[in-house]
Structure 1
């Protein structure tokens, strides 16, 4: 960079200097820049222009894309930060800790949001401003002094054995039954379910390959009952779509996340089981696995979690077993 700068100065001054003056200029420049380090400046932003906020946000989102964040996550980051910037109406280098605290307080009051939701916003803001600080766009991350929002642990309910049987009985379509069995047997995410193709299924080994968050690949396993219902469903199909689950009507398109969630909710209402959604099967499988003695590290592997703490949040210990254990060991 230094050599290029000296060369540019020389070329600009050459038409106005004789040979001796040109050599003198070159010697002077070399001496002046000898102990100076020159760093190429980043893309410049008009600090008086609020549009620079949008440009910086796009750079941040690009960085998250390179890190392997999913499209859904990046979209959530984008909408969350945009709403904050539109509300505060300041350049990012002028946004203060008090600005963000006021925004979070107002957000919670207006929407009656939970502590968990507010802490999720705080984490996203922290990620954004930390990146700005690391990239030298701002001097200090204003979220640094906003501490994690403490919230009580909510024990989320799971599907009982009886509820699962009622759900199965309510399935009039073989596709729905195969879908319920696969979700409850493997504990896969709904996004992983809809991306499955027929050739991802190994019926002999009763396993399938799924692609989780961050495009990570893992193998999950299903039971004999799931195998039978999956095979019956595939035998009933007359289309040539490679997708494992498709719509009932032509042109037999691959089922999407919304389609699966809607169908599962309808099955739950029909069976009078309560609030049923695809993620509930995942939590149920994790809880059941730990309840029966599967090591938490193996459950973590099945669920595709990077951090074991995440697995522990899914796996709620059966309260009845705690009662039995207390009577056995304490009473």
Structure 2
């Protein structure tokens, strides 16, 4: 295999054999094609080329750099294992120092602004599924009437890593979705995309992100991205006193460390925590006797 097209086609089949999701495979292929355009031939590029690539974009977030470094290591290790390259230019890339990101959830007022800022019904449904159910954009994109138990008011969600979970639909979101199609996608594709011909499937996750981003900008909301609506799902449950374990389950996180990245603890919650400390009587003076 000397042609990058053949290499990537075989890698795609390899990832399918690993039972990775279509979204993961598509994302990895897109990224490696971008690397090839930016650095050159996948079979001849060097470690220095990859270092220059990793250091070239000052707009990437810390988590993006970590993700990209991992993706490069995964791909070039596979190339070496398959004997396509004898070396691995990604084996000793600089480690990306992890920086803890402060949670940045949208506020309830922000969400109200979006819903009342001229958003169409389709957009309002996306907002409701993002906030009230904590769905990710790719989960919103493929929401289908067949996934809903219309008697129990629950929805089956196909999340990351092909993990399936059943989530309850609260009263607020039920009012939004109860009249949606029971036999069909809730967000059908109005034009052809990479997965479906016109009208034969659902929109893609980037379409959901675009719709929500435009709605937020139109409402005058700055400093937030659509995923911050999902952060609000965790933060507002925490403010309401919901058990951390329940929040973790509702967010569908494997561990609590991930959940804490979404939860913003505000100053009044901190104040309440300090005020919960048992008071210890404070003497007015030391009562120490002076030495004679």
CA contact (8 A) 1:100 1:143 kept: yes
**Aligned partners of 1:89, 1:163: CA distance in 2, in Å?**
44
Give CA deviations for 1:34-64 in whole Å, capped at 9, x if unaligned.
Answer: xxxxxxxxxxx5xxx5x2x543343333222
> Closer, same or farther in 2 for the Cα pair 1:104/1:211, shift >3 Å?
same
* Alignment root-mean-square deviation, CA: 3.6
**Aligned partners of 2:6, 2:234: CA distance in 1, in Å?**
42
1:283-322 equivalence runs, <5 A: 283-306=231-254, 308-322=256-270
CA contact (8 A) 1:241 1:253 kept: no
User: Does the residue aligned with 1:314 lie in a helix, a strand or coil?
Assistant: coil
The equivalent of 2:171 in structure 1 is: 224
Q: Find out whether 1:104 has 2:46 as its counterpart.
A: no
Structure number with the higher helix fraction is 1
The equivalent of 1:122 in structure 2 is: 69
Q: Find out whether 1:63 has 2:10 as its counterpart.
A: no
Name which structure has the greater RCO, CA cutoff 8 Å, separation 6+.
2
Query: Which TM-score applies when normalising by structure 1?
Result: 0.66
Of residues 113, 119, 124 in structure 2, which corresponds to 1:166?
113
The equivalent of 1:78 in structure 2 is: 29
Query: Which TM-score applies when normalising by structure 2?
Result: 0.74
- Flag structure 1 segments of 5+ consecutive residues without an equivalent: 1-44
CA drift of 1:126 comes to 0.6
**Aligned partners of 1:59, 1:330: CA distance in 2, in Å?**
64
CA drift of 1:201 comes to 1.9
The equivalent of 2:184 in structure 1 is: 242
**Aligned partners of 1:259, 1:129: CA distance in 2, in Å?**
31
CA contact (8 A) 2:143 2:185 kept: yes
CA drift of 1:198 comes to 1.8
1:113-262 equivalence runs, <5 A: 113-139=60-86, 141-170=88-117, 173-231=120-178, 233-234=179-180, 242-245=184-187, 254=202, 256-262=204-210
CA drift of 1:150 comes to 1.1
Of residues 213, 226, 230 in structure 2, which corresponds to 1:282?
230
User: Does the residue aligned with 1:210 lie in a helix, a strand or coil?
Assistant: strand
CA drift of 1:294 comes to 4.0
Give CA deviations for 1:98-154 in whole Å, capped at 9, x if unaligned.
Answer: 34223323x23xx65444433322111111122234444445533332242114323
Give CA deviations for 1:155-205 in whole Å, capped at 9, x if unaligned.
Answer: 242122222333334466555444433321110012112212223222432
**Aligned partners of 1:123, 1:73: CA distance in 2, in Å?**
13
The equivalent of 1:16 in structure 2 is: none
CA contact (8 A) 2:114 2:219 kept: yes
- Flag structure 2 segments of 5+ consecutive residues without an equivalent: 191-198, 280-292
**Aligned partners of 2:158, 2:184: CA distance in 1, in Å?**
16
Paired residues in the alignment total 271
1:3-18 equivalence runs, <5 A: none
